[in-house]
Amino acid sequence: MTTELGIAVVNGIFAGSVYALVALGIVLIYRASGVFNFAQAEFGTTGLFAAYAGVVLWNLPYWLGLLFGLAAAVAMGLATERLVINPLRNSSRVTLLVGTAGVALAAIGIQFWQSNEQPIREMPKIVEGVALQPFGAAITWQHLITLGVLIVVALALAVFFRSPSGVAIQAAQQDGTAAELVGISVRRVSMMTWAIAALLGGLAGVLSGPNLTFTAGHLTFGAGAALLPGFMAAVLGGMRSMPGALLGGIVVGVIEQLGSLSLFGYMSGGGEMMLFFFLLIVLLLRPQGLFVRKAVAA
C-alpha cells in the first residue's frame, strides 16, 4: 500500500504541475476580463502540435521545436485577443465566454483536420530515464523537468509582477479608465496578458505531451485533459490568486490520484468523482477559495 500511495502522490504532483500552469493562465485572464477562458487548454494543445511538427516532422533540434511550439501558442493567444476579445470588449461576459469557447472549438477542428492521417501522436521525451524511485514510485527526468519549469515560472511571475510592466498589468486590471489617465495603454496590457496566458498554456502542452500519446483537443478532453482540473485549481485559489492557482493545481493533481486509489480503487473516473466532492465541500465552506483569507476585491 505504501508503494501505491507513493506512486499516487508522485503522479499527482506532476499532473498537478501541468494543471497549475493551466490554472495560472485562467486566473491571469479572469483577472483581466472577468471571464473564464475556454481556449486556455487549446493554447497548450496548439503549442504541442507545433512542437511535434518541429521536432518529429521537420527534424528540428528539440529545443528549437519547443520554442516553435511556444511561439505558436503565443501567436494563438495574441490572435484571440485581437480578433475575438478586443472586438467584443464592450460585450457581456457571457458573450466573451462564448467567444473563447468558439476559439477552442476552432482550434480543435483545425487539429483534427491537420492530424487526419495520423490521429494519435507521440512526442519524444526531453530526457529519457528514471531519476529517482522514492517509496517505489518512479520519478522520471521528464517529471523533474516539469516540476522545475513550474518553479521557474512561479519565480518569474513573482518578479515580473513587481516590474513596471507587471505593475501596469495589475493597474489596468483594477481600473482600466484610471490606468489610461496615467498613461498606461490598456490595449497593450491586454495583448501582454493574453500572450503570457498563452505562453503558460503552451508550457503545459509541451511538458505534458512527452508523457502521453496525444490527439486533437489533448488538453481539453483528451488523454492529458487539464482544462477542468485547471479550472478547479483556479477556483481553489479564489480565481484571482496566482499563488493560490499554483498550489491549487498541485492539490487537485494529488487528490485526483489519491481518489482513484483510496476511495474507488482503480475504477475509471474515481479521481474525478473525488475532485467533484472535494470542490463542492470547499465551495460550501470557503466560497472565497481555499488559499485566500477573504474574497479578493475586483
What's the domain range around 168?
2-285
Count, residues in the chain: 298
Specify if 195 maps to a domain.
yes
State residue 175's pLDDT score: 80
d(CA 96, CA 38): 10
Residue (of 66, 61, 63) closest to 50 by Cα position: 66
Residue (of 293, 230, 165, 255) closest to 30 by Cα position: 230
pLDDT tens per residue across span 235-252: 998 888 899 999 999 999
Specify if 15 maps to a domain.
yes
Specify if 294 maps to a domain.
no
Cell matching residue 150? 513550474
**CATH number of the domain within which 71 lies:** 1.10.3470
State residue 204's pLDDT score: 95
Specify if 179 maps to a domain.
yes
Count of domains forming the chain? 1
Bridge partners, 121 (sequence order): 214
Sequence letter at residue 216: A
Specify if 292 maps to a domain.
no
State residue 293's pLDDT score: 62
Specify if 296 maps to a domain.
no
Parallel, antiparallel, or unpaired: how do β-strands 130-132 and 139-140 relate? Answer: antiparallel
Cell matching residue 108? 480543435
Cell matching residue 212? 502521453
Specify if 291 maps to a domain.
no
DSSP string, 94-160: HHHHHHHHHHHHHHHHHHHHHTSS--SEEPPPSS-SEEE-GGG--EEHHHHHHHHHHHHHHHHHHHH
Q: Identify the segments of the chain with pLDDT beneath 50.
A: 264, 295-298
Environment class of 244 (CB within 10 Å of its CB; exposed 0-12, middle 13-18, buried 19+): buried
State residue 7's pLDDT score: 82
Strand, coil or helix: what is 198?
helix
List, as own/partner pairs, every contact residues 221-226 make where C-beta atoms lie below 8 angstroms and the sequence separation is at least 24, other chains included.
222/45, 224/18, 225/41, 226/18, 226/19, 226/22, 226/41, 226/44
State residue 126's pLDDT score: 84
Spatial contact of 45 and 109, defined as CB atoms under 8 Å apart: no
Specify if 42 maps to a domain.
yes
